[in-house]
Amino acid sequence: MNPTDLSAQIACRFPSLACLREPEDLLPYSFDGTAAYRQMSAAVVFPTNAREVADLIRWTAQEGAPVVTRGAGTGLSGGSLPTVGSLVLCLTKINRVLEVDARNLTLLAEAGASTADVAQAAEGAGLFYPPDPGSMKVSTIGGNVAENSGGLRGLKYGVTRDYIMGLEVVLPDGELVWLGNKCVKDVAGYSLKDLFIGSEGTLGIVTKVLLRLLPKPAEKKTLLATFARMDAAAATVSAIIAARIIPCTLEFLDRITIGCVEDFAQVGLPRDAEAILLMETDGHPAAVEDEGRQMERIARENGATSVQIAQTAEEATRLASARRTAFSALARVSPTTILEDATVPRSELARMINFIQQTAAKHRLRVGTFGHMGDGNLHPTFLTDERNHDEMGRVEQAMREIFDFAIELGGTITGEHGVGMAKKPFLPKAVGDASLGLMRQVKRALDPDNLLNPGKIFD
């Protein structure tokens, strides 16, 4: 069906469904948080409940119309980029937090609820939802599930997957299913909900999410260590983990990133440092006190030029939120900002960081690197200009080398942002033929006509 017919038919068949069709309305939905991809859709619809989603999908499946699910469009791999002639299904109007169950420590939310709303609702009940991606004020919980997003607390608390107890999903043929429940233990059949976590909208549309919560940690301590050399920061991370401490946060910023964040947030980061480590430990007050002291000592022993301890909760929040803006702040430097997501086993971190720096120098590129050091998840960010074709060529070459090296070290091409469009060319090498073949079989089994987010992850 051609795009005009598709949108006209929707207006006629689903009169109560909000639907955008004009170019001025569609253009703002022609991209997500990923640099340089743009593609117009045929229409954007805003269902308000799961039933509407199911009815719509049953119809689009019959018509053979491709559908791209979109949360807040903060994705960093082009996952919610429309495909040609597709219908964008935007979930931001299905956004209620439905229930916080303090007896079972669970929270039920609609997929379009923002991560921050979920975290706040949990906190309101004295509970804790740990995954906190940098985009959490905007990103939807459904998008977090679809990308299996991480955050700043991954080292101790894991990623989104570790908190999913159940999902309501609309399947590619329009059927509405519930997967999972509030039971801590459940081995009745395949764990199907896990299939949809990290599936990037290619297998089904998540409409509700049942999350596991934790008691809120009683105490938290935030430290900021400054280093004159990057490898000293990496050594500190290794030493902390070797000392059997699992802090909730071990985030680092390099010099370029520090400057950009400071330009925006003015939190007093030391601009002359080569690296800073943001470290956070939480839990029982006595343990927090002890671990905080140990981390300070270890940082100093490994060459930290200064270690600052946040004196108030506000100061701690300010430091952490400054870190959250690192990626966007890097965009100050140059017109085009391309973020990578290479991840290696923690033990290989120092080698990976060195390699990134050498590769950038070799190709005469500006790269700001920050990331989740405790998770081995780095975000080398290329500061470039899409009009400069020669430089863009070098960026692609450098990216390829970085991915190859990450794979060589037993790592992966993406730790948390997903494959989408951006990592598609690198997937075969990262996972191998057998694994990729299995992914294709799963996709064919669930979505034989290739209508949900076609062309993402693999062709």
Partner 1 sequence: MQKPPPGTTRDDQPRNGKQAGHLAGLDFSVLQQCMHCGLCLPTCPTYDETRIERNSPRGRIALMRGIAEGQLGVTPAFGEEMYFCLGCLACETACPAGVRYGELFENARPDVEEAGVLSGGKRRLVRALTLRWVFTRPRLLRLVGRLLYFYQASGAQAFVRRTRLTRLLPKTLRELEPLTPRVLPRFSDALIAPVEKPAAATHRAGMLTGCVQDLTFSDVNRDTVDVLLANGCEVVTPRAQFCCGSLHAHNGELELARELARRNIDAMERAAGSLDKLDVIVTNAAGCGSHLKNYGHLLPDDPRYAARAARWSAKVRDIHEWLAATGWRRPTAETPVSVTYHEACHLCHGQKITRQPRAILESIPGLKLTEMPESTWCCGSAGVYNLTQPEMSQTLLRRKLKNLAATGAGVVASANPGCTVQLQAGLRETGSQVRVAHPVSLLARAYAKEKAEPGS
Ligand X SMILES: Cc1cc2nc3c(=O)[nH]c(=O)nc-3n(C[C@H](O)[C@H](O)[C@H](O)COP(=O)(O)OP(=O)(O)OC[C@H]3O[C@@H](n4cnc5c(N)ncnc54)[C@H](O)[C@@H]3O)c2cc1C
Q: How many residues bind partner 1 (CB under 8 A)?
A: 54
Q: Does 251 bind partner 1 (CB under 8 A)?
A: no
Q: Does 313 bind partner 1 (CB under 8 A)?
A: no
Q: Does 75 bind ligand X (CB under 6 A)?
A: yes
Tell which one of 7, 21, 29, 172 touches partner 1 (CB under 8 A).
29
Least separation in angstroms between CB 93 and partner 1: 6
Give the closest residue to 93 by CA, choosing from 71, 78, 118, 116: 71
Q: Does 80 bind ligand X (CB under 6 A)?
A: yes
Contacts of 369 (CB under 8 A, 6+ apart): 254, 256, 257, 353, 356, 357, 378, 379, 380, 381
Question: How many angstroms separate the CA atoms of 149 and 155, rounded?
Answer: 13
Tell which one of 3, 47, 73, 172 touches ligand X (CB under 6 A).
73
126-155 residues in contact with partner 1 (CB under 8 A) are 135, 137-138
Sheet containing 219-227: give its strands across: 304-309, 219-227, 275-283, 249-254, 367-372, 377-384, 336-339
Got the DSSP string for 146-203?
HHT---TTHHHH--GGGGEEEEEEE-TTS-EEEEE-S-S---SS--HHHHHTT-TTSS
Q: Does 65 bind partner 1 (CB under 8 A)?
A: no
Least separation in angstroms between CB 287 and ligand X: 26
Q: Which two tokens stand for residue 169?
A: 């999903």
Q: Which does 392 bind (CB under 5 to 8 A by kind): partner 1, ligand X, none?
A: partner 1
Rounded to 5 degrees, φ, ψ at 357 are -65, -45
Q: Does 63 bind partner 1 (CB under 8 A)?
A: no
Q: Is 410 helix (H, G, I), strand (E, B) or coil?
A: coil
Q: Does 189 bind partner 1 (CB under 8 A)?
A: no
Q: Is 8 helix (H, G, I), strand (E, B) or coil?
A: helix
Tell which one of 231, 386, 401, 404 touches partner 1 (CB under 8 A).
386
Contacts of 15 (CB under 8 A, 6+ apart): none
Q: Which is nearer to ligand X, 308 or 343 (CB)?
A: 343
Instruction: Provide the H-helix boundaries in 212-284.
Output: 230-242, 255-265
Tell which one of 44, 111, 350, 367 touches ligand X (CB under 6 A).
111
User: Would you give the binding string for partner 1 spanning residues 98-117, x where CB under 8 A is met?
Assistant: ----------------x-x-
List interacting residues with partner 1 (CB under 8 A).
3, 20, 22-33, 35-40, 46, 72-74, 84, 92-93, 114, 116, 135, 137-138, 260-261, 263-265, 325, 327-329, 331-332, 335-338, 386-387, 392, 395-396, 421-422
